[in-house]
Structure 1
């Protein structure tokens, strides 16, 4: 078991939804958390204040991680503030769901940029620092859609599947080091993104889930914590947290 006290983590998209749950879980376990956000400044600052009130350390940094220069500045801000970087959680993501016939090039590129290219943009400048850690962790929040596909989600599925391929390949390259690289593939989690699904469609989805319920953001956060604390011999893997929907 790795002692996370004093470790430093970046969580992209860390101010709301699953990202906020991950941020809180890591902070509660002694991690100094750098909360990346693009437009959710109020949520990010509120989360920083809450963590500090509870004795933790946190920093909010605005950056559009689909932009390589801004992603590099995010990593620099973390290292300049805390002197190290041990954990990177690639969580930033968006959807632009359309059937392929209606999918514009802009919607394709935006989803690929935010969900997939951001992983390269953050890992590239972060890796040199994470490699110096005795317990480096790179964790990408993929999706069940990247494994099974989804109607009207060719862009999102391609991005999330790309994250899985990236994870496996980088894990091979870093296998002899202390850095592990893994992906978490959530099923349908009770977040604002899932709330946009029409109620009748959501009912059909829940009916197909063996556990007959949506997942909670906190359950994804527990998966991240597990990989950080107990995942020294786990690398190149997909941790499926989906209520049994995809086996």
Structure 2
């Protein structure tokens, strides 16, 4: 029998920044967590310990999501550990500023493999679980770079394309899963402060420019995103699907 009061949640890129903030916010006795990182094992262990202290049951995994076998392995490990997968947060990604003329075909394909490819791999492997779950939720973390280009002196060609592809996949999956009650949404962070060992893709000067370009006058914090994701994962958000929520302090207004 499926437990309608508990959930199993997979979070990729959970060792730092947004992923770690989501894990900590969602942790509790009602939640089983599968936490993933590409390589930051020490930081992931610390996040897992924090989540365990809040009453969550936690399993962890390390793997390069550009490898098409890894998403299915994460799903299999979560299923073996907890029996049922209810929710997925596809957060892991990278930011590349390499311009046209310098990035290679392999660079572009790697970004697509580790972002929209990994998203597709995760949900495909977990599809029977999501369709059967009474609390099915999928959230993909996109980026403002899929919507605005060159603000505060930034441009991320391959990342922009990969994140835009994720949003298109979200819409298609939302339509497919809507009759089952599972919702699928994307959250679009603005310029976000990196925490806990996260990779910093832009300079300090660029971050200052980013604050000036953001109408609220501040960077987005990882917990700003985590709060939004936690709501989308909740029972209260059952009628929100196929949405793209911008959590960016107004960055994409103009």
TM above 0.5: yes
Match of 2:177 in 1: 174
Contact 2:9/2:33 (<8 A) preserved: yes
- 1:46 and 1:117 map into 2 onto residues whose CA distance is 28
- 1:144 and 1:216 map into 2 onto residues whose CA distance is 14
| Match status 1:241 vs 2:247 | yes
150-159 vs 223-232, greater mean Cα deviation: 150-159
| Match status 1:92 vs 2:92 | yes
| Match status 1:161 vs 2:164 | yes
How far the C-alpha of 1:5 sits from its partner, in A, is 4.9
Match of 1:127 in 2: 127
- 1:138 and 1:86 map into 2 onto residues whose CA distance is 9
Gaps of 5+ in 2: none
- 1:204 and 1:38 map into 2 onto residues whose CA distance is 30
- Deviation by residue 1:51-110 (Cα, 9 ceiling, x = unmatched): 223322111112222222221111011011111111000001012211112222232222
Match of 1:217 in 2: 222
How far the C-alpha of 1:159 sits from its partner, in A, is 0.5
Q: Secondary structure at the match of 1:60?
A: strand
Contact 1:4/1:29 (<8 A) preserved: no
- 2:199 and 2:217 map into 1 onto residues whose CA distance is 15
Q: Secondary structure at the match of 1:197?
A: coil
- Deviation by residue 1:130-173 (Cα, 9 ceiling, x = unmatched): 11111200110001111223453110000011111111111111
- 2:144 and 2:82 map into 1 onto residues whose CA distance is 34
Q: Which runs of 4+ in 1 moved over 6 A?
A: none
Match of 1:205 in 2: 210
Match of 2:73 in 1: 73
Length-normalised TM-score, structure 1? 0.93
- Deviation by residue 1:184-228 (Cα, 9 ceiling, x = unmatched): 000011016674412222222211111000011011011111101
Q: 1:220 to 1:4 in 2, by over 3 A?
A: farther
Q: How does 1:101-140 map to 2 (within 5 A)?
A: 101-140=101-140
- 1:178 and 1:149 map into 2 onto residues whose CA distance is 35
- 1:51 and 1:200 map into 2 onto residues whose CA distance is 34
- 1:61 and 1:132 map into 2 onto residues whose CA distance is 24
159-168 vs 29-38, greater mean Cα deviation: 29-38
Contact 1:116/1:159 (<8 A) preserved: yes
Gaps of 5+ in 1: none
- 1:100 and 1:90 map into 2 onto residues whose CA distance is 27
How far the C-alpha of 1:29 sits from its partner, in A, is 7.1
194-203 vs 121-130, greater mean Cα deviation: 194-203
Length-normalised TM-score, structure 2? 0.90
